[in-house]
Amino acid sequence: MALGDFSAAIMPGTWRPLRLGTLVGLRWLAIAGQTIGVLFVAFGLGFPLPLTQCLMLIGLSVLLNLWLLFRLGEGYRPTATVATVHLGWDLCQLAALLALTGGLQNPFSLLLLAPVSVSATTLPQRATTILAALAIVLASLLSVFHLDLPWAPDETLVFDRVYVIGIWVSILCGVIFIAAYTNRVAHEARQLADALAATELALSRHEQLSALDGLAAAAAHELGTPLSTIALVAREMRDELPAGDVRDDAELIMSQAARCRTILGKLRSLRDTPGDPFAAVPISELLAEVIKPLEGNGKSISIRTDKAAGPDPVIKRNAGLLYGLGNLIENAAQFARQSVLIDASWDKWALTVTITDDGPGFPSELIARLGEPYLTTRPRDPESAEPGGLGLGIFISKTLLERTGAKIRFENEAGDGHARVRLVWPRAAIE
């Protein structure tokens, strides 16, 4: 199965930009929390703090939000660089506010993790790395340069230096964990969602073709009667007319009607072709159908079945089975030097299909990861007419075939290569 049709819509690692309204909304939430916290400490608890400077910092974020909304609108989607600058501003503004209110001794210093967390789940790894480094620098500065923590004026609050260092270490650990682990998990989730979308597109395409088959057969059935009438009337006209142009026109009508009957006959047969996902065929015929489009590519593709095990299992054909087997066999044919061998064997409980090629085999370091989305050894050369795959072929095959009940194993037959894919189905699931 060719995956080039999906390359324009789905690419690995694609970043989906946040709306400006989302970034602004997060900042409004931070502004509200900061304002409430500062006012509560100043007037609710009565602790002295540089209130004017704090409100000025909060006011800068308010002005920035208003300017962005009026200038760009909520629906604007900034680039990754612009979004990184937004989150960088939030980090710096929060750090400045913490510097005025106790630095890392302020319990709200934990909020330095928030912009890094937003970046880890929505932005590329490079942006997250930049913001994580900025958060670490700011936390380090706050551990040294800050005003006293607002507290009761008649009490002296002293934090041990070791305790402050512990807070600094905990924030660093949190930043590193979020930047590394959370970003990786989010990236893999986006990859998986994209790859599953490609699988759904492949199945949708096949279902649409199957629906067109049915529509064509129905149209052929409905057109058969009026076409027969036209042919009958044209024949009677020809028999009653003398030789001449009119008789020649009647014969032309008859010949075109015969041509139309031939075309309609082909349309009627579409539902009986191997593409019918509801037909049931022996496993040998199913495999022969799958390899038929690959004939003539210069590689020998042969099928070997174990006739001693009894009659061929009769398989219910479906879109996932055809696409999955087709992908694996096509992949084997592309990497084979000369030949691909497909072995089918069965017993009372299971059906096994083994696809082996005489190519270089799977890279040993990738065997354990085969089946992951966007895992490919083919180079992507944008200047080449064949830019390489998206790395979705094996993932799609594995996903579709596992849905039919198959267990898949990737291995090399020999030390010098010869990739082999072994598929095992319980007969109760596949027949």
Task: CATH number of the domain at 293, please.
Answer: 3.30.565.10
Angle 283-291/319-335 helices, nearest 10 degrees? Answer: 60
Q: Are both 268 and 321 inside the same structural domain?
A: no
Q: Would residue 366 count as lying in a domain?
A: yes
Same-domain pairing of 243 and 286: no
Residues 266 and 289 in one domain: no
Residue 59: per-residue pLDDT: 94
What does the alpha-carbon distance between residue 183 and residue 374 come to, in Å, rounded to a whole number?
A: 17
Q: Do 112 and 20 belong to one domain?
A: yes
In a shared domain, residues 408 and 286: yes
Q: Are residues 225 and 292 in the same domain?
A: no
Structural domain contains residue 292:
yes
Domain end among 273, 297, 317: 273
So what's the pLDDT on residue 92?
Answer: 95
Residues 95 and 118 occupy one common structural domain = yes
Pairing mode of beta strands 300-305, 339-346: parallel
pLDDT for 54 equals 94
**Is the residue at 317 inside a domain?**
yes
Residues 306 and 213 in one domain: no
Tell me the pTM: 0.52
pLDDT value at residue 40? 93
Domain membership of residue 3 (yes or no) is no
Residue after which a domain boundary falls, among 238, 273, 308: 273
Residue 139: both structure tokens together: 């936390």
9 within domain boundaries: no
Residues 247 and 291 in one domain: no
CA separation for the pair 330, 298 (Å, rounded) = 13
pLDDT score, position 33: 93
- pLDDT for res 199: 67
Q: Give pLDDT, residue 235.
A: 83
Q: Which domain holds residue 349?
A: 280-430
- 340 burial type by CB count under 10 A (0-12 exposed, 13-18 middle, 19+ buried): buried
Shared domain for 265 and 338, answered yes or no, is no
In a domain, 426, yes or no: yes
Per-residue confidence (pLDDT) for residue 217, from 0 to 100: 61
pLDDT (tens place) for every residue of the chain, 431 residues total: 444 444 434 444 455 667 888 889 999 999 999 999 999 999 998 899 999 999 999 999 999 999 999 998 888 888 888 999 999 999 999 999 999 999 999 999 999 999 998 888 888 888 889 999 999 999 999 999 989 888 888 877 788 888 889 999 999 999 998 888 887 787 777 767 766 776 666 666 556 555 555 566 666 666 777 877 888 888 888 888 788 888 888 888 888 888 777 777 655 554 444 445 446 788 888 888 888 888 777 788 888 887 777 788 888 777 778 878 888 888 888 888 888 999 998 888 889 999 999 888 888 777 777 766 656 655 444 443 333 344 567 777 787 788 888 888 888 887 777 888 999 999 888 87
The answer to whether residues 377 and 238 belong to one domain is no
pLDDT at 404: 83
Same domain, 266 and 328: no
Instruction: List the structure tokens of 388.
Output: 């390489």
What gap in Å lies between CA 27 and CA 118, rounded to an integer? Answer: 12
**Boundary-marking domain end, from 273, 297, 328:** 273
Q: Three-state DSSP class for 314? A: strand
Within-domain flag for 145: yes
What is the SS3 assignment for 429?
helix
Number of domains in the chain: 2
Instruction: Note whether 49 and 150 are within 8 A (CB).
Output: yes
* Predicted pLDDT at 204: 65
